[in-house]
Copies of this chain bind each other. A is one copy, B any other.
Amino acid sequence: MEKIAIFPGSFDPFTIGHESIVMRALPLFDKIIVMLGLNHSKKYFFPIEARQQMIEDLFHDEPKIKVETHNGLTIDFCKKHGATYILRGLRTAADFEYERAIAQVNKKMHPAIETVFLLTMPEHTPVNSSVVRDILLHRGDASLFLPLKLDIKNYLRYENE
C-alpha cells in the first residue's frame, strides 16, 4: 500500500522549519501532500495563490511532494487522497499539547489515521509563521527564517495589505 502523508497548515508563509520537516520526512513516505487549509473567516498576510506558488516553487524538483488547497476537515482530505498519515512538526511543549488534541480527535473520528511527528531542528525552534509575518510587516529582513531557495520578495508582490 502506498504510504501517503498529509502535511496540513496555513503556511502564512512556509518557513525554513516547515521545509526541514517535509524534507526529513520524505524518505519515510511515498508521497507527501502539503495541504494548504482555507479558512475564509481568517485574514492572511499572503494570499492563498502566493502561498501555493511559494510551496510549489520550493519543491519543484521533488516529484514526491504535491501542494493542494482544501476547505474542510483534514480527515476528509486524507480520505479523498487515500492518505493514512498526517505529518506534523513539534517545536515546544505548548505546540505539543495543541497538536495532541487535534491528532487524538482526528484519530477518534477516523481510526485508520496516524499522526507522525518529527522534531524541528534546535535552531528552528523559535521560528514560526507569525514571527516571520511580524518581521515582514515591519519591513525587516526575515530571510534567516525562510527557505534558502525562496526569495520572499517574489511573493510579497501578492501582498494585499
Closest B residue to A98 using CB positions: B94
Q: Chain A contact residues (Cβ within 8 angstroms of B): what range? A: 35 or more
Which of B96, B105, B117, B135 lies in contact with A126, CB distance below 8 A? Answer: B105
In contact, B138 and A105 (Cβ under 8 angstroms): no
- Chain B residues with CB under 8 Å of A118's CB are 114-117
In contact, A104 and B125 (Cβ under 8 angstroms): yes
Oligomer: number of copies: 6
Q: Is A68 an interface residue (CB 8 A)?
A: no
Chain A interface SS verdict (over half): helix
B-contact bits for A88-99, CB 8 A (1 contact / 0 none): 001011101110
Which of B94, B107, B125 lies in contact with A94, CB distance below 8 A? Answer: B94
Which of B25, B101, B131, B140 lies in contact with A101, CB distance below 8 A? Answer: B131
In contact, B76 and A105 (Cβ under 8 angstroms): no
B-contact bits for A24-36, CB 8 A (1 contact / 0 none): 1101100000000
